[in-house]
Amino acid sequence: MSTRTHVLVPLALALLVALAGCTAIGGGPGDQDGDGPGEGQEIRSEVANEMASIDSYNYSMVTAVEFQDNEQVTESSGTVDVAAQRMVSESVTTVRTNSSRTRQGSTAYVFGEQQCLELGGSWEQSTVDRSPWRSGTNVSVLTELLNSSSARLSNDTYRGQDVHVIVVEPSDDAVQTLLGDTGSDVEFTGVTYTQYVDTESKRLLRSDMNATYFASGREVDLTVSMRFSDFNTSHPIELPRAAVGSNGNGPCAGMAGNGSDANLAL
């Protein structure tokens, strides 16, 4: 696993959440609502407004990448504090091939545009490639995504709760535009987002993504399943002492401001 891969994990999370809130608006070409266009548009607008008002939440996520007989599965969980522009993610990645099976854990903190990553027992601070907090910079891209997407709305139950199910299928070109310059030759196709929204609170409970992408001419299947909980009740996100150092001279000390104990986890 490369450091760059882990740097992109929290960013991917933030983009998925932003996309989930925005695509809840729907209304692109080929839009089909089970409850009728008027009601469907109203529901999706309510979802977008509710998600935009959330300051913090917890999440769990499973990402699976499969190609030929190989598989990489990453299980992550963490907290996102939108108001404070902080997030933390703990992940375990398992890689299976024909002849081997490896397992490695990591922890990533993001404060603003700085990340502190623990991998293999070592901490490292770096700048994220693209800020996960500047959603405004993606408005035009997301608008283009919506205008070239088809959306379907239906009703169901999820874990005993009544939910709206929103299925969004953006065009391949729109997805590539959203990804922007990631410094790779990855090309996505067949992307589908399925979102489960509580009918009463209008909050996103689960978001699934299925896609195929091509990297260096190789076809890869990607699935991502995210669950959200504890809206506006998450605990403060603080750097561990191992990352900051007892005297403020640790590898991620630059993210702790003045190094006061208010920024440190015991």
pLDDT in tens, 141-178: 444 555 556 778 889 999 999 998 888 887 777 666 66
pLDDT of residue 176: 66
Q: Which runs of consecutive H residues, i.e. helices, occur in the chain?
A: 3-23, 37-52, 139-147, 172-179, 241-244
In angstroms, rounded to a whole number, what is the distance separating the alpha carbons of residues 23 and 197?
Answer: 12
Q: Which three-class secondary structure state does DSSP give residue 255?
A: helix
Helix (H/G/I), strand (E/B), else coil: 91 = strand
- The pLDDT assigned to 158 comes to 94
Are the C-beta atoms of 86 and 109 separated by less than 8 Å? yes
Give the tens place of pLDDT for each residue, 46-82.
776 777 788 888 989 898 888 888 898 989 998 988 8
- Domains (range + CATH), the chain: 3-235 (2.50.20.20)
pLDDT in tens, 94-106: 999 988 999 999 9
Q: How far apart are the first and last CA of the chain?
A: 28
pLDDT exceeds cutoff 80 at 89: yes
Distance CA 196, CA 155 (A): 9
The DSSP symbol for 235 reads P
